[in-house]
A and B are shown apart, each in its own frame.
Chain A
Amino acid sequence: MKKHYIIFAGLVLMGIFYPQMFPGYLSVAITLLLYAGWATAWDILGGWAGQVSLGHASFVGLGAYFVAVGTSHYEIAPWWTVLMVLFAASLVAYLWGRLTFKLKGPYFTLSTIAIAEIFRLIAINEGWLTGGATGVFIMTLPEPFGLDLFSRQVNYYLALAFAAITVLVVMLISRSKFGYQLRAVREDEDSAMASGINPTTVKLKAFMLSGALTALGGGIYAIFLSFIEPHIIFYLLLSVQIALTAIIGGRGTIWGPCIGALLVVGSGEIFRTTFAEANMLIYGLLIMVVVIFMPRGIVGEPARYLIRRVYAKRAQS
């Protein structure tokens, strides 16, 4: 476990100096960090607790809309709206989970798509609150300590902090009682109950934490884009991308979602410039290769192989 903290410290340190080294590539890095954070947050529910959600765009949307509508309609500073949305997202996740955790496996996943769609429709149709289909512009933002929140540099550090927080949360969870309860529920709910674990409570906690963290990233996303519209931010595609990022990287691992983000966002960027229109094709192929040859993801598969090989060796000697 110690090595994870060393890797973590190293990455954060690199992250801090990145803007000085590659000032021209800030936007890509921000996208990458946001996806790393979202996928890590998604993975608390999807990977550690084993409940695959294809509705996490709802939480991105909640976070983004709270911040955008807060500043542009009500002149509430983003740090207050972010604080509010942490509570709001937890509450939404709680009610959502209460409603749907009776469903298992793919049925739960389908229900998340349906509920996410409700959020999208609300965002489009309740124009008085959300600006409707045209979306919301963020025209002005406060300047805490003289920081320009519109600047790419500041956006970058916000995204870095977001990604770091989510990874840190997962690192803390992974060794804790809660982390083992999550894994137990994922593996076998009956057996978890025989160990005194209430699966519904554990899943609800995971969903609330996952949703709140995702919403936090959504708030930062809104500041980064400074214009949000429901068709993008509440759309199924975003949910799918968040889930895929975590799945490709390796579900239920600390670094899997980050590696997934590096691959998905990084390759997306490279393919877009070199293959132009064929980029979605390459992207699709990449996903298929990973899913077929590494069903546990890029981090999950070798980790598992190593553990088993080390053990097999010891058993022989």
Chain B
Amino acid sequence: MPSALRADGITVKFGGVVAVNDVSLDVEQGKILGLIGPNGAGKTTLFNALTGFVTPQAGRIYLHGKEITRLPPYMRTRVGIGRTFQTERPFEELTLLENVLVAAFLKEPKRKKAERLAMDVLEKVGLADRYDQPALDLNLARRRRLELAKALAVQPSVLFLDEMMAGLNPPALKGMIGFVRQLTDQNLTIVMVEHIMEAIIALSDHVIVMANGSVITEGLPGDVIEDPRVITAYLGED
């Protein structure tokens, strides 16, 4: 399988603090990369560097072989990156349909077609029956699904999910895992930052573990969680 997303030696500094230190990764098309690590490990910063919301001081990023390191976030969306935000950011004044419509317009400039696409995506995430509700009134699980719908409506080739599972109750979690699994069947490549191990193990083809800005280990999910270095990173030394 060809590489969908590749990053070489990404380094992000905030003032004197090195948030991400020389991280490289490579995700094949249709695969899921899980990004884990304790709080403050630099996962979200790496995530933001890959999606363009933070500018890395060093390193290069390639999407399907084309360099995107210098592209602003909206240009990365146009070339095929979709993302969700850790704290969901719906357009609160707009209805669910309009929220997704904003994203759907990217590939379908005609209103009728964009609306159909938006409705299809809402159908997929199970929010179609609430399409005319203002986004302001949604509960957490539904806000998550709306966030996902917005990211899917730009019809990305690589999807970035930032802690989609956190705070979901068991049935909602199960539903979300099943849904994400389905997405890769359609050849979508996924990079996910996640704290919920259940989701990481169930979904990831490959896991990268970060601590203090650096990769401490990587590999298959089952192997990685038994790695003593990972346990130390999460629980500290005894």
Contacts and interface: CB of A to CB of B under 8 A. Distances in A.
A308 B134 contact: yes
B93 A187 contact: yes
A183 interface: yes
A27 interface: no
A140 interface: no
Contacts of A181: 102, 105
A191 B77 contact: no
Does more than half of chain A's interface fall in helix, strand or loop, or is it mixed?
Answer: helix
A193 interface: yes
Interface stretch (B10-18, B81-89, B172-180): B81-89
B111 interface: yes
B133 interface: yes
Nearest to B106: A196
Interface in B39-75: 51-53, 72-75
A194 B73 contact: yes
A84 B125 CA distance: 51
A311 B133 contact: yes
Nearest to A178: B105
Contacts of A190: 53, 73, 85, 89
B211 interface: no
B93 A183 contact: yes
B94 A195 contact: no
A227 interface: no
Interface in A164-198: 175-177, 180-181, 183-184, 186-188, 190-198
B134 A184 contact: no
B111 A175 contact: yes
Nearest to B48: A190
A195 B132 contact: no
Nearest to A194: B83
Contacts of B151: 194
B206 interface: no
B92 A187 contact: yes
Contacts of B134: 304, 307-308, 311
Given A190-B89, A194-B150, A308-B134, A183 B72 contact: no
Interface in A284-317: 304, 307-308, 311, 315
Contact of B102 (A175, A184, A307): A184
A196 B133 contact: no
Interface residues of A, number: 26
B103 interface: yes
Interface residues of B, number: 35
A194 B91 contact: no
Given A181-B105, A184-B91, A195-B154, A176 B85 contact: no
A199 B105 CA distance: 15
A183 B91 contact: yes
Contacts of B74: 192-199
Interface string B129-151: 00011100100000000000011
Given A187-B91, A190-B53, A311-B133, A180 B101 contact: yes
Nearest to B79: A196
B132 A193 contact: no
Contacts of B83: 194
B218 interface: no
A176 B111 contact: yes
A117 B154 CA distance: 43
Contacts of A188: 89, 91
A190 B94 CA distance: 16
B111 A191 contact: no
A180 B73 contact: no
Nearest to A202: B74
B114 interface: yes
Contacts of B73: 190, 193-194
Contacts of B111: 175-177
Contacts of A194: 51, 73-74, 77, 82-83, 85, 103, 150-151, 154
Contacts of A198: 72, 74-75
Given A191-B85, A308-B134, A311-B132, A196 B92 contact: no
Interface string B144-163: 00000011011000000000
Given A180-B98, A180-B102, A307-B134, A196 B154 contact: yes
A89 to B, nearest CB: 27
Contacts of A304: 134
A278 B194 CA distance: 63
Interface of B: 51-53, 72-75, 77-78, 82-83, 85, 89-94, 98, 101-103, 105-106, 109, 111, 114, 132-134, 137, 150-151, 153-154
Interface of A: 175-177, 180-181, 183-184, 186-188, 190-199, 252, 304, 307-308, 311, 315
Given A176-B111, A177-B114, A183-B98, 6 more contacts: A175-B111, A181-B102, A191-B89, A191-B150, A194-B150, A196-B74
